[in-house]
Chain A
Amino acid sequence: MEYEVVVGLETHAELSTITKLFCGCSTKFGAEPNSQVCPVCLGMPGVLPVMNKKAFESAMKVALALNCTINKFTNFDRKSYYYPDLPKNYQISQNYYNLGVDGYMNIDVNGTIKKVRIHNVHLEEEAGKLIHPEEVGANYSLVDFNRAGVPLLEIVSQPDMRSTDEVESYMQTLRKILLYTEVSDCKMQEGSLRFEASISLREKGTEKLGNRVEIKNLNSMKSVIKGMEYEAKRQAELLDRGETIARETRLWDEVNERSERMRSKEEAQDYRYFPEPDLLPVLIDEKWMSEIKSTIPELPFDRRQRFMEVFKLSDYDASCLTEEKVLADFFEYCLSISDRPKAFCNWIINDLLREAKDRKLDIYNLPIKPKQLAALVETIERGIISSTIAKEVFSEMILTGKDPQKIIEEKKLVQINDEGFIESVIDKMIASNPNVVEDYKKGKKNALAFLIGQVMKETKGKANPKLVNELLVKKVGG
């Protein structure tokens, strides 16, 4: 039988606020275990939470960026379960009045635009981390509470995805939005961005959703795709054998690339949600909402579309430039100086990006500033230097941070457009290479390229290549 895979994703993103959600402890990653804790985030008797306004606003920003309806009355709830990394044995989360509901996000799936609906966006607190000792036979575990209480955003999609391509695009698009809105650093290796997938199959062409299985412990986007493929195959095999799919939660085993049952639906926890009495409900008015809305930059999807339409860039170029906000900003900064989109695009994607990667620097931390790149492009476009010389100037700029004009001046790199001078060099080359000239006349076209090369070499690359070509053809071809 042919099946359609139906996928929904739950995304957890740690918000990059300076302090935790309910106390003043630092959220910095990688500190000595239990060095960023206080009575509040340790769940000591008698402590009370106080909401981090910045975290709340970041959550609202994402909810708005994902086109959610903001609940004017939003509240926090206690989600109860016992686990040693959860200090209070309840997590302050949202259940009854989520911050944002009924949103959507557009994704691009191989050139086709698809709308994925967002069920809700809500804010909660992160748990600590269990450390299991490596020694054999150890009968204890350790807990690091540094992470406990870090603000965590949960974004729940509707089961709207139907393929790995769609899931891949959803994850990438969402990641970019979180980066563009500057709410999370989205470092998957540090766990600040995590995905959980709900997967079900149904017979192609039917409407009714199958029993869904949740997959946890997907530590990278790659494992989301692998876990999803594995699960779709597993379910298809079961269905083909006439079996039913058990509603359950499975754990992805990254090493062996397979999943194992963690718990069935019957074993699912009863979280006993109830409104958190230690926090007041948050009332959101239009003014606050529009203030937050005004801080949302143009999002990557829209920006890419605009780059394609307005600057006539290719899909590939526009995607590259909008991959990171800083890159697109750099590009537009250059454009504000001179209107040469394609040239800037090439320099940024091919040269600047490579340099930034080599040096592990942000593009803004390279010695070349938009103003200087614009000047370089301008000298090429005006024929002051050739594009070959431009590469040399660029290398010097990267090293010294000097303005291109200055480098061109110092190194005397200005393009030679003096026809008389170029002709004299051509004459010299023709004279010393009579055989090549003969070859050309006999119809060997690449002989001309050799002669051009000789002229360029003689002028240290400064001769205007177009002019050299023209004059040479006139001389030898006449």
Chain B
Amino acid sequence: MSLLQSTAYQIKNKIISREIKSVDLVSSLFTRIKHVENNIQAFIVTDEKKAIHDAIEIDKRIERGEEVGLLAGIPVAVKDNICTKSLPTTCASKILQNFIPPYDAFIVRRLKEEDAIIIGKTNLDEFAMGSSTENSGFKITRNPWNLECVPGGSSGGSASAVAADVAYMALGSDTGGSIRQPAALCGIVGVKPTYGRVSRYGLVAFGSSLDQIGPLTKDVRDAALLMQVIAGYDSCDSTSVKVPVPDYMEGIESDVKGLRIGIPKEYFATGLKSDVHTVIKDALKVYKRLGVEIIDISLPHTEYAVAVYYIVANAEASSNLARYDGVRYGYRSNNAQGVIDMYSKTRAEGFGNEVKRRIMLGNYALSSGYYDAYYLKASRVRTLIKNDFDAAFEKVDCIMSPTSPVPAFKIGERANNPLEMYLSDIYTIPANLAGIPGISIPCGFSKEHLPIGLQILAKHFEEKKLLQIAYAFERETDFHLKKPPLNVSSLQGA
């Protein structure tokens, strides 16, 4: 296996032991980016010069025997809705094209403190609104497993980059499944941490009460490594929680014997593709072999989750996106007369259709006379959904389901049907509404040889347990080692 195909954990030790140099790794990574980027379009911007410079510095420090951070010399990609002081942060929106934030997000600061090499910013659905990365204002990212398919979304750029071995690890954000679903569709690992586990400071807000930043990685151990860096309290985020961060790597090999796994019947109803169902059943057999107990459970309010989500998320989004008005930064329309006209033209020209649709839906749900019927009622149902999970976790240690009802779909296949697109997140949304952590791990392939993800959910702040459960599966299987057929030579000029 080539160095580029290794995991972050594997190369980390090689860099520290000076077996390889970070700068060589970064150089060969950028060579590969040049080869495959035309096909997958994972990045909005890359910064080779800075990455090389940083890598040289890390190599020098290691050579001098200095102590280095947890991610010393490891190339990491960051979703382009996370603020970086040195690089544009566009949210894949024309309204923020060329916008360079004056500050680093909390987690970007953490990456830098741990000596990671930030190689670039990855593509997403505009303002993270979507499940296919087709809603990007700039480009359509492709799935490395089949270039005609979407990588999922909204963290499609991050997922595609990791799957195509052009980033060792990446950060994404998950509001309704935006880490887990693209991780599943690209055959990698994705974690949505507990709401409050990772600071949102510097994450461009979409649905503030749902958003969480999390890792997209090649395997579970790497996810634990990246979680170790990004998790923790931040006084700049009032919703971040002062719960001690455990050592996620320690005891990751723990045995799962006797573990009680809940299977929610509502997640195996209509809409689930049969080969996805089959693969999930096979995955559960692996766990059975490891001595777990499979328990049928019910999450009775599941059917309302998508509706609740699209009211809450869009209401929050309509308010969060109000600031893009052309007054202080970002795009401003050139042909406006007066301030109201400036607002309307700036926003009409700056935002894409899906973003506009959600802003309108959100404003409608919050408008006078509708607030009680929509937002308030949705908030109450949200509590019921959370209660479903609380009740379930009385009986089981974790909940398993498919991450997505379908594997990667064709580009354009769902683009004109927002409702069908919204249903892509049917299994991932409830965790955001309840604030609980979830992970998606590769667990098999569809008939078309597209990756399928297994979702595991646990109680608040039980990321460590999730990682242990996921690792137990990974140790028994080799799905995470499978590589997409991205044959560089055959792709050139494709």
A positions within 8 Å CB-CB of B: 39, 42-51, 78, 80, 82, 84, 87-90, 141, 143, 270-274, 277-280
**Contact residues of B between 170 and 222, Cβ < 8 Å to A:** 200-205, 208-209
- A89 and B325 in contact, given A272-B366, A274-B366, A274-B371 (Cβ under 8 angstroms): yes
Report if B284 contacts A (CB, 8 A): no
Could you say which of B82, B316, B325 contacts A82, with CB atoms under 8 Å apart? Answer: B325
* B101/A280 in contact, CB under 8 A: no
Bound-complex Cα distance A409 to B235 (A): 64
Closest to B337 in A: A139
| Whole-angstrom distance between the Cβ of B403 and the nearest chain A Cβ | 25
Bound-complex Cα distance A190 to B318 (A): 34
Closest to A39 in B: B103
Bound-complex Cα distance A279 to B340 (A): 30
What are the residues of chain B within 8 A of A143 when measuring CB–CB? 327-328
Report if B367 contacts A (CB, 8 A): yes
* B237/A39 in contact, CB under 8 A: no
Can you show 28 pairs from A to B with CB atoms below 8 A apart?
A: A39-B102, A39-B103, A44-B101, A44-B103, A44-B329, A46-B105, A46-B200, A46-B201, A46-B204, A46-B205, A47-B201, A47-B202, A48-B201, A49-B238, A78-B319, A80-B319, A82-B340, A89-B322, A90-B319, A271-B368, A272-B366, A272-B367, A273-B371, A274-B319, A274-B371, A274-B375, A277-B316, A280-B239
Closest to A85 in B: B327
- A45 and B343 in contact, given A89-B325, A274-B319 (Cβ under 8 angstroms): no
| Whole-angstrom distance between the Cβ of B318 and the nearest chain A Cβ | 8
* B99/A45 in contact, CB under 8 A: yes
B positions within 8 Å CB-CB of A: 81-83, 89, 91, 96, 99, 101-103, 105, 200-205, 208-209, 235-239, 315-316, 318-319, 322-323, 325, 327-329, 339-340, 343, 363, 366-368, 371, 375
* B327/A84 in contact, CB under 8 A: yes
What are the residues of chain B within 8 A of A51 when measuring CB–CB? 238
| Whole-angstrom distance between the Cβ of A137 and the nearest chain B Cβ | 14
Top 7 closest pairs, chain A to chain B, by CB:
A89-B322, A277-B208, A272-B366, A277-B209, A45-B204, A46-B202, A46-B83
| Whole-angstrom distance between the Cβ of B374 and the nearest chain A Cβ | 10
* A274/B239 in contact, CB under 8 A: no
* B237/A45 in contact, CB under 8 A: no
* A50/B236 in contact, CB under 8 A: yes
What are the residues of chain A within 8 A of B82 when measuring CB–CB? 46
| Whole-angstrom distance between the Cβ of A47 and the nearest chain B Cβ | 7
Closest to B327 in A: A84
- A272 and B363 in contact, given A84-B327, A89-B323 (Cβ under 8 angstroms): yes
* B204/A270 in contact, CB under 8 A: no
- A82 and B366 in contact, given A45-B96, A273-B371 (Cβ under 8 angstroms): no
* A45/B368 in contact, CB under 8 A: no
What are the residues of chain B within 8 A of A274 when measuring CB–CB? 315-316, 319, 366, 371, 375
* B101/A50 in contact, CB under 8 A: no
| Whole-angstrom distance between the Cβ of B381 and the nearest chain A Cβ | 16
- The winner among A45, A50, A274 for most chain B CB atoms within 10 A is A45
Bound-complex Cα distance A47 to B101 (A): 10
What are the residues of chain A within 8 A of B319 when measuring CB–CB? 78, 80, 90, 272, 274
Closest to B211 in A: A277
Could you say which of A45, A82, A87 contacts B91, with CB atoms under 8 Å apart? Answer: A45
| Whole-angstrom distance between the Cβ of B88 and the nearest chain A Cβ | 11
Closest to B375 in A: A274
Could you say which of A88, A141, A270, A271 contacts B323, with CB atoms under 8 Å apart? Answer: A88
| Whole-angstrom distance between the Cβ of B243 and the nearest chain A Cβ | 15
- The winner among A50, A143, A277, A279 for most chain B CB atoms within 10 A is A277
What are the residues of chain A within 8 A of B327 when measuring CB–CB? 84, 143
Bound-complex Cα distance A386 to B203 (A): 77
Bound-complex Cα distance A332 to B322 (A): 54
Closest to B379 in A: A275
Bound-complex Cα distance A44 to B328 (A): 9
Bound-complex Cα distance A49 to B200 (A): 11
Closest to B196 in A: A280
| Whole-angstrom distance between the Cβ of A275 and the nearest chain B Cβ | 8
* A278/B238 in contact, CB under 8 A: yes
What are the residues of chain A within 8 A of B102 when measuring CB–CB? 39, 44
Bound-complex Cα distance A93 to B316 (A): 16
| Whole-angstrom distance between the Cβ of B463 and the nearest chain A Cβ | 22
What are the residues of chain A within 8 A of B366 when measuring CB–CB? 80, 272-274
What are the residues of chain A within 8 A of B328 when measuring CB–CB? 42-43, 87, 143
What are the residues of chain A within 8 A of B340 when measuring CB–CB? 82
Bound-complex Cα distance A81 to B176 (A): 27
* A46/B236 in contact, CB under 8 A: no
Could you say which of A39, A43, A273, A278 contacts B208, with CB atoms under 8 Å apart? Answer: A278
Bound-complex Cα distance A272 to B319 (A): 9
Bound-complex Cα distance A270 to B364 (A): 11
What are the residues of chain B within 8 A of A47 when measuring CB–CB? 201-202
